[in-house]
Structures are given as C-alpha cells and as structure tokens.
C-alpha cells in the first residue's frame, strides 16, 4: 500500500514540477527582466511542491497553520492550472503573429492572456462558494402511491476538512432545512481525507435529523473513496450520534420504498458487488433507489433490478480544462439524469470541491428530486 502511494505521489509531483517549469519558462520568455530572475525560478520550484507537501502534512494535522498552508497551496494549484492554459495560448498567439508577420509585442500578448486567466480564476473561486439548488423530476415504475410527489434532497462530495469546514456544512444544512424535502441522501465523500474535527462537522446534521418539517423520513449516508483515508472509528461515530443513518451495504425499507446503500470501496470488485446486491433479496416488482458514490457497476445494478442509482464523485471535472477529461472518462454519466437500459442514473456535480476550491464549467449543487409514477 505504501509503495503504491509513493509511486502515485511521485508521479503527481513530477507532473506538477513540469507544469510549473513550463509556466515559468513562458513568463520568462514573454516578460523577461524580473520574471526571468533566479528568485522567481526558486519561487516556482517551491510552489510546485507546495500542494503535495501540504496534503501529506494535512493527513495528520488539523492545526491552524497546516490548514492555512493547505488552503494557500490549493488556491495556488487552481490558479496555476489557469496560468498553464495562459502559457499555452500565449505561445499559440505568438506563433500566429510570427506566421502572419504581425510583429506583436511579447509582453502585450502575455498581458492580455494572463489577465484573462487570472479573471477566470477569481470567477471560479466565487462560483465554487455557494451551492445552487437543482430541481429534477424522476418518474419511477412501481413507485408506491405514498411516494408520488415526495421529494428527496441529494448532496455529495462536500469534502469537509481543511478548506470546507464547519461554516460550509452549516450553510448546506440550513439550505436543506429550507427545502423541506421528505428525505435526504448523502452520497459519499462527505469528508476530504485530511485530518478534521469530526465532532464539530457532524453536529449541524442533528438539527436536520430532528426537524419536524425537513428529512422526516431520515438522512441516509454512504461512504465515498475519500473516507477510505480514515478508520471507521474516526469519523463514523459522530455521524451516527447526529442521527444520520449509515447504510452499511444493506437494504432498508422506507415507507414502502427499497433503499440500498453500498460504500465505494465495496463496489470496486464486480463479483463482490453483485453478491452483495443478490444477498439483499431485492424485489424487482417494487421501486428501489441505490446510493453508490460513483456512477460505476451500472450493468450489475441494472441486472439486479435497481430502479434509480444516485451518485456523485465525478465533480464534472470541477474546472476547465479538466471538465473535458471528465466528459471523456465518464461520458454521458458525467452529470445529470441518464438511462442505462431499465436503470436510471443521476450523477451530481457535488456540493463542495476537492483540491483547488474553484469551479469553472461546473457548479456546486444540492439536488432536489421530485418523484413521479412512470406510466406503464
């Protein structure tokens, strides 16, 4: 396990170093002078290792200084992504100007392109702060009569930790209270994988659980891949004490509806996942909802008769240009309500952020699902 982690960290660090070198080489070429100095070169070298170093330290410490350094390094990582794009476009524009004999000044090219990149970064920072409410209707075959017109709120990927913490989860819970949905689903990656004050972060959920108007049918949770950085005893007990129902690879009955929850790590192996679903004795003649952190194992979910799968995980790529890669990887299941045969799948962009607290090309969201009966 440690050797795999070391290889992964080494690859990520090498990529970050090369990206920072490219940005430095670009600004040194286009601006020269101070931008090409040894001091700037050393600053870029230090910044290239900042996020990996802060992440490694952040896994073990929740001290204010560690959280601050993690925040700064994550912000820089996001802006560095835009600066890398600016570097690429600067070289392209420079090449076009040379080919066309326009003789555009290097510094003017860089001024315009890098200013646009910084503006995009600040917009992405603001865009990521406040989750929007997205409303969808889902028609389900064999939906119990009492569920027609009911609503469910779906949140996922809050990534609570060093950046999104107590204030953020309080805002999310307050919004859920105002929506007054009948039930609430938390589809994994509630925590970021770094050290955290789990008691404090779980406390706001108790108000939602005890509300007479919201989540009267309960709040249900399954773990995502980022919870695998913890031991269950670290983060689960505070959640349970808050009143959240943890679905441990099981089926429960919620007023006539079959609700299934499978933790991310337990769906990695296809044979194990299939065996777990079969052991739950699902009734194919009745409507069912599956909480599974990522939109994976769709053939098995459909084969076992699941009606609706609710997932997150993809973030939609979170910010451009990684949004293009996410669409390539996850295809139509990257975001939104889609079909896989008889199975309906909804993937949310998520409510928080991972790494850079920025979003461009996606939005943080809380999804309000209204259930309808499908016509036969």
**pLDDT for 103:** 84
**pLDDT for 35:** 87
**pLDDT for 1:** 52
Q: What is the pLDDT of residues 86-95, one digit of tens each?
A: 999 999 999 9
CA distances 154 to 69, 102, 133, 243, 367, Å, are 31, 54, 10, 17, 5
**pLDDT for 129:** 93
**Cα-flanking dihedrals φ and ψ of residue 261, to 5°?**
-130, 125
> Splitting the chain (376 residues) into consecutive groups of 10 residues, what average pLDDT does each group show?
74 93 95 90 94 91 93 96 97 94 91 97 96 96 95 98 94 97 97 94 96 96 94 94 96 97 95 95 95 97 96 96 95 97 97 96 97 83
DSSP secondary structure string for all residues of 13-66: HHHHHHHHHHHHHHHHHHH-GGGGSHHHHHHHHHHHHHHHHHHHHHTT---HHH
**pLDDT for 141:** 94
First to last CA, the chain: 50
Domains of the chain and any CATH numbers? 2-127 (no CATH), 132-373 (3.60.21.10)
Q: What is the pLDDT of residues 40-60, one digit of tens each?
A: 999 999 999 999 999 989 988
- CA 183: distance to chain centroid? 21
**Contact assessment for residue 227 and residue 257, using Cβ atoms and an 8 Å cutoff:** no
Tally of residues, the chain: 376
Q: Which two tokens stand for residue 60?
A: 């073990």
**pLDDT for 10:** 87
């Amino acid at each position: 396990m440690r050797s795999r982690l070391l290889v992964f960290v080494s690859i990520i660090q090498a990529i970050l170093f090369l990206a920072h070198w490219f940005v430095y080489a670009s600004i040194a070429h286009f601006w020269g002078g101070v931008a090409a100095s040894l001091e700037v070169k050393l600053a870029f070298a230090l910044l290239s290792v900042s996020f990996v170093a802060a992440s490694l330290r952040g896994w073990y410490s929740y001290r204010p200084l560690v959280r601050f350094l993690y925040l700064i390094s994550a912000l820089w990582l996001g802006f560095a992504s835009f600066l890398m794009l600016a570097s690429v476009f600067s070289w392209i524009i420079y090449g076009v100007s040379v080919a066309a004999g326009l003789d555009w000044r290097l510094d003017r090219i860089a001024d315009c392109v890098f200013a646009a990149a910084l503006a995009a970064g600040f917009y992405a920072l603001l865009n990521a702060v406040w989750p929007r409410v997205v409303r969808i209707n889902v028609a389900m075959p064999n939906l119990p009569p009492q569920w027609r017109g009911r609503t469910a709120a779906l949140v996922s990927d809050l990534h609570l930790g060093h950046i999104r913490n107590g204030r953020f989860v309080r805002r999310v819970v307050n919004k859920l209270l105002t929506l007054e949905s009948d039930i609430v689903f938390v589809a994994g990656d509630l925590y970021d994988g770094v050290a955290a004050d789990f008691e404090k972060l779980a406390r706001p959920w108790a108000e939602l659980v005890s509300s007479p108007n919201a989540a009267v049918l309960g709040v249900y949770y399954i773990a995502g891949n980022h919870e695998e950085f913890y031991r269950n005893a670290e983060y689960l007990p505070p959640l349970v004490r808050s009143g959240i129902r943890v679905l441990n690879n099981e089926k429960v009955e919620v007023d006539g509806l079959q609700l299934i929850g499978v933790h991310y790590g337990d769906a990695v192996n296809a044979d194990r996942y299939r065996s777990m679903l079969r052991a739950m004795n699902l009734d194919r003649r009745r409507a069912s909802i599956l909480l599974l952190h990522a939109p994976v194992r769709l053939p098995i979910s459909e084969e076992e008769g699941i009606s609706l799968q609710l997932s997150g995980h993809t973030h939609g790529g979170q910010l451009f240009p990684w949004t293009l890669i996410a669409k390539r990887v996850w295809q139509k299941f990257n975001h939104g309500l889609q079909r896989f045969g008889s199975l309906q799948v909804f993937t949310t962009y998520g409510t928080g952020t991972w790494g850079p607290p920025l979003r461009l090309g996606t939005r943080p969201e809380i999804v309000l699902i209204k259930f309808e009966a499908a016509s036969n």
